[in-house]
């Protein structure tokens, strides 16, 4: 989800288009072409592989799984016929595709072929099913049991407690006890979204694209982020998920907020320093500013079918994707890859953080069509506050001004 040139370089190496494997499964597809684009992480591979197994002599299934899927899916689905007939997407990329009219409502296909898809997996917008979700993700808290025990603090339930706990752990000799993805580029904006929504803030005046963040909740969210940054490695403005993962595995962090999809890696102990993995606990994100729910946003991953493909290809893609998220894909090997929203899922310890954040009532990531512009405006204007160049109110005014210019250009504001 982060964008970087390194990702681009790696995807050029790994993300090449692959033809379907040899294993065939009867997915009930008579004929048609299926072409799937999606992100490149293990859970998506599991889904895409199961969908690709539908390939037969008359049914061609292609997959392109790459970190840069969000740059490719819209252009690839704009052509008619579309290059990609199905897209594996997350909360925010559905909005982009839908705003451009590139994904079709699935109600007809569900009526014809999908009666067995559980209702709670369907993403419904204005009464029309636009996507089918298969997994959940969120940034949540990780903590090192040994370090917190040694400092004599309980796992924090609020960010205010987290500051106190980080202070005690630092006194015990861990120089930068708190780690989080505060890198500029996308992540820093996401951290602000989490903290501001977590404090009960709203980004827009209801029903409009008018920004509404320059208020005391916005100031409180920024002040909390600055207080947290005091317990981070001084390079925090360059930290993305990979950097935080490496810091955690090296044993430099006592508490972190990081994506749930990284929990498996942090807890498997394959690349961790001794004693780190077995003491790694994944729990709900703390709440902030007196709220009763975790200060994080929930994301889902799911799939949609392109508008610009023939009905035959759309049906074939629907059936292949349905096979891709069938309960049979859950094996002991794949169970720990994600917090699956598929029948038969048994949560592993690595899933606890996401599960607790959902149960705690964290909000889902905003789906307004202009949220992307707000996210990037926040991302570009918070660093000046965190480095002490300006105060919180100025930073918030800058975010609103940058957003307003972008939203006017995009046609969302007059």
Partner 1 sequence: MKHKTFLWFILPSAVAMLLFIALPVVSVLLQSVFAPHEQVIREVEKCDVFGCKKSTTVDVEATAALSEGAPLGRFVGTAIYTDRNHLALSEIGAIWSSSKGPGDFLDQIFNLPFYGALAFTLTYTALVTPFAILLGFCIALAVNAIPRLLRGPAIFFSLLPMIVTPLVGALILFWMVDARGILGVALQSLAGDPDLSVKASTPLMWAMLIVYGVWSSCPFAFVVYYAGLQTVPQDTLESAMIDGATRWQRLRYVIIPHLLPLTTFLVLIKIMDNFRVFEPIVSFNGGAHAQSLSYFIYADLTATNKLLSSAAATSVLTILGVIVLLSPVIVRTRRSFARAAS
- Residues between 292 and 331 that touch partner 1 (CB under 8 A): 298, 300
Question: Residue 390 Cβ, how far from partner 1 at the closest point, in Å?
Answer: 7
Q: Which of residues 190-209 bind partner 1 (CB under 8 A)?
A: 206-209
Please, what's the b/e burial string for 41-70 (b: 16 or more CB within 10 A of its CB; e: otherwise)? Answer: bebbbbbbbbbbbbbbeebbbbbbbbbbbb
DSSP string, 220-232: HHHHHHHHHHTTS
CA distance 306 to 229: 42
CB count within 10 Å of CB 387 equals 11
C-alpha distances out from residue 414 to 213, 246, 286, 369, 381, Å: 19, 45, 38, 15, 23
For partner 1, the closer of residues 112 and 175 by Cβ is 175
Which region, judged by CB under 8 A, interacts with partner 1, from 47-55, 94-102, 143-151, 318-326?
94-102
Q: Is 152 left (phi over 0), alpha (psi -120 to 50) or beta?
A: left
Task: Give the shortest CB-324-to-partner 1 separation in angstroms.
Answer: 17
CA dihedral 148, 153, 155, 160 (to 10 degrees): -120
Only one of the segments 89-97, 265-273, 327-335, 344-352 lies at the binding site for partner 1 (rule: CB under 8 A); that segment is: 89-97
Minimum CB–partner distance for residue 22 and partner 1 (Å)? 33
> Does residue number 136 form part of the binding site for partner 1 (CB under 8 A)?
yes
CB of 18 to partner 1, least distance (A): 25
The kind and range of the H/E element at 144 are strand 128-144
- The reply on whether position 78 binds partner 1 by CB under 8 A is no
- Pick the closer one to partner 1 by CB: 71 or 145: 71
Task: Tell me the closest approach of the beta carbon of residue 143 to partner 1, in angstroms.
Answer: 23
Report in angstroms how near the CB of residue 27 gets to partner 1 at its nearest. Answer: 24
Identified binder of partner 1 from the candidate list 18, 79, 125, 202, rule CB under 8 A: 125
Tell me the closest approach of the beta carbon of residue 282 to partner 1, in angstroms: 19
- Residue closer to partner 1 (CB basis): 61 or 371: 371
Q: Which residues contact 269 (CB under 8 A, 6 or more apart)?
A: 276, 277, 278
Binding test (CB under 8 A) with partner 1, winner from 58, 124, 310, 346: 124
Residues 342-401 that bind partner 1 (CB under 8 A): 358, 362-364, 366-373, 375-376, 380, 383-384, 386-387, 389-390, 394, 398, 401
Q: 244 preceded by cis ω (within 30°)?
A: no
Cα distance between residue 241 and residue 265, in whole Å: 12
Using CB under 8 A, count the residues that bind partner 1: 78
CA separation for the pair 7, 210 (Å, rounded): 34
Q: In this complex, which beta carbon is closest to partner 1, that of residue 149 or of residue 390?
A: 390
φ/ψ (deg, to 5) at 273: -65, 155
Residue among 12, 18, 23, 100 that touches partner 1 (CB under 8 A)? 100
Residues within window 232-291 making contact with partner 1, judged by CB under 8 A: 233-238, 240
> Which 8-state DSSP code applies to residue 326?
S
Q: How deeply is 107 buried, as exposed, middle or buried, from its count of CB atoms within 10 A (0-12, 13-18, 19+)?
A: middle
Beta strands in 8-76 (DSSP E): 18-19, 32-38, 59-65
Q: Which residues in the 153-172 window bind partner 1 by CB under 8 A? A: none
10 binds partner 1 (CB under 8 A): no
Residue in 57, 127, 274, 332 binding partner 1, rule: CB under 8 A: 127
Q: Report residue 63 CA to chain centroid gap.
A: 21
């Amino acid at each position: 989800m982060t964008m970087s040139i390194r990702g681009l370089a790696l995807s050029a190496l790994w993300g090449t288009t692959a033809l379907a494997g040899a294993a065939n499964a009867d997915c009930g597809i008579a004929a048609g072409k299926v072409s799937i684009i999606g992100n490149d992480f293990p859970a998506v591979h599991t889904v895409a592989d199961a969908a690709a197994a539908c390939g037969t002599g008359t049914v061609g299934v292609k997959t392109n799984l790459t970190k840069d899927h969000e740059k490719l899916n819209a252009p690839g689905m704009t052509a008619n016929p579309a290059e990609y007939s199905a897209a594996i997407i997350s909360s925010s990329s559905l909005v982009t595709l839908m705003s451009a009219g590139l994904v079709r409502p699935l109600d007809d296909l569900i009526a014809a072929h999908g009666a067995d898809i559980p209702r709670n997996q369907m993403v419904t917008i204005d009464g029309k099913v636009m996507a089918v979700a298969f997994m959940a993700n969120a940034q949540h808290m990780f903590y090192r049991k040994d370090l917190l025990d040694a400092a004599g603090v309980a796992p924090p339930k609020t960010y205010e407690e987290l500051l106190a706990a980080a202070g005690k752990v630092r006194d015990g000799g861990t120089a930068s006890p708190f780690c989080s993805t505060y890198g500029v580029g996308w992540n820093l904006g996401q951290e602000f979204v989490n903290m501001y929504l977590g404090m009960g803030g709203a980004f827009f005046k209801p029903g409009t694209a008018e920004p509404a963040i320059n208020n005391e909740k916005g100031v409180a969210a920024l002040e909390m982020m600055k207080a947290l940054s005091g317990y981070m490695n001084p390079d925090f403005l360059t930290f993305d998920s990979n950097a935080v993962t490496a810091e955690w595995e090296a044993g430099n962090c006592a508490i972190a907020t990081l994506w749930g999809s990284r929990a498996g890696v942090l807890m498997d102990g394959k690349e961790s320093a001794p004693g780190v993995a077995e003491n790694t606990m994944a729990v709900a994100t703390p709440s902030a500013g007196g709220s009763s729910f975790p200060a994080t946003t929930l994301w889902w991953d799911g799939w949609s079918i392109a508008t610009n493909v023939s009905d035959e290809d759309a049906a074939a893609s629907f059936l292949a994707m349905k096979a891709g998220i069938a309960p049979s894909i859950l094996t002991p090997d794949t169970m720990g890859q994600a917090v699956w929203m598929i029948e038969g899922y048994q949560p592993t310890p690595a899933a606890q953080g996401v599960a607790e954040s959902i149960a705690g009532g964290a909000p889902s990531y905003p789906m307004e069509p202009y949220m992307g512009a707000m996210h990037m405006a926040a991302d570009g204007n918070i660093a000046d506050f965190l480095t002490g160049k300006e105060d919180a109110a100025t930073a918030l005014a800058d975010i609103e001004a940058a957003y307003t210019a972008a939203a006017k250009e995009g046609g969302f504001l007059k």
